[in-house]
Amino acid sequence: MATDSQAQEVLLTRDGPVVTLTFNRPEARNALTWNMYERLYQACEEVDADDSVRVLVLRGAGGKAFVAGTDISQFKSFKTAEDGIQYERDGERRTGRLERVGKPVIAQIEGFAVGGGFAIAAVCDVRIATPESRFGAPIARTLGNCLSMENYSRFVDLFGPSRVKEMIMRARLLTAEEAHGAGFVHEIVPGAEIEARVKAVAAELASHAPITLRVTKEAVRRIQERRRLEGGDDLISLTYTSADFREGMTAFLEKRPPRWTGK
């Protein structure tokens, strides 16, 4: 059972047919705890179970970040290859559930959408961002971990293999303009106007034929899923049992540059 503080980490509000989920850890740039990931999964279940809900909006509190990845302190308990594999499986269970929501999902992005936040934004249907927003998975510079095969596949679908390799290998964050140019971000809206713009787009989507939207969304998902590779546990095992991953995590928490060895 969630504690009072955990219950406040994710907020759900409703305005007519539109449900808004707010990641609410602004002091941590909305970095996700296991509780927040699980609450996201539950919210997807609730939205799909209610036919009167037509649109789901995801946003981050505070205006500085959508989601700045997973709370890194939680990785301290990782000891074995299975810990890393299970983390990626659990992450895919939640991200995959969001991808399968039968209603349109809008990402209202203000600030950083990186790591896990980048993956969550990638499975939303419409992405509206502020000019200051930044996108990417700078894992080669920070933790020295990897993505799931499913997330690699999604990013290749959205950006193409060349851009994905350059972005991850250089640990580079894309600007809102770059993400818009790549077709990832659909609209760039000033921070003072983004809430009103998202509300207008949500109302537009809510007025459209629900079955058409659901079928279109699922058809595109099935086409993409058919191209995804099974496996990848060997790559995840190699990464999460490496000395470099332990060093990356320790260095991140100690706020110092990591000393990579390639081991």
Q: Where are the domains of the chain?
A: 4-195+202-206
**How many angstroms separate the CA atoms of 242 and 251, rounded?**
14
Contact 120, 95 (CB under 8 A): yes
pLDDT (tens place) for every residue of the chain, 263 residues total = 557 678 899 999 999 999 999 999 999 999 999 899 999 999 999 999 999 999 999 999 999 999 998 876 766 666 676 776 777 677 778 889 999 999 999 999 999 999 999 999 999 999 999 999 999 999 999 888 888 888 899 999 999 999 999 999 999 999 999 999 999 999 999 999 999 999 999 999 999 999 999 999 999 999 888 766 667 788 888 888 889 988 988 888 898 999 999 99
Contact 17, 55 (CB under 8 A): yes
**How many angstroms separate the CA atoms of 249 and 73, rounded?**
8
Statement: the pTM of the whole predicted model exceeds 0.85: yes
Q: What is the third-level CATH fold of 4-195+202-206? A: 2-enoyl-CoA Hydratase; Chain A, domain 1 (3.90.226)
